[in-house]
Amino acid sequence: MALNTVSTGLEERWRDILAVHARTMCEIDRVLHPHGLGASDFEVLDILATESPREGDQCRVQNLVGRVHLSQSALSRLIGRLEKDGLVERSMCVEDRRGVWVSLTRKGRDLHSEVLPLQRGVLAKMLDG
């Protein structure tokens, strides 16, 4: 009986975490939509801005895979959309031809700076308290 109670408590906590995550992602999508971005798009831009703070800095796509909650193929499609929109640039890694570099363009950095307060505001609203 005690195991069942513990299990039920864990399940409830897990479902609460999933519910907060879903509501937060939906709210981020809602506030970023007028800027042509979704939550996952922003997450990639934000990681690139953090990992590659100077213009021209690059990040290997493989380094993004573990940080963004998308499959490698979904991430590749997302980066393709961001590239089509002029927000990122991709290039092949000279040292390892299987590797791909990605970097923010000036347009991507500007858009990230513009929407960063919106995303952080949603996080504060949804996760504080």
Residue that the structure tokens 């007028």 belong to: 34
Task: Give the model's pLDDT for residue 6.
Answer: 65
Contact yes or no for 75/65 (Cβ under 8 A): yes
Residue 30 pLDDT? 98
Give the ranges where 33-105 is alpha helix by DSSP (H).
Answer: 39-51, 61-65, 72-84
Spans in the chain with pLDDT lower than 70: 1-6, 53, 97, 129
Instruction: Give the other-Cβ count within 10 Å of 102's Cβ.
Output: 23
Q: What is the pLDDT of residue 4?
A: 67
In angstroms, rounded to a whole number, what is the distance separating the alpha carbons of residues 121 and 94? 40
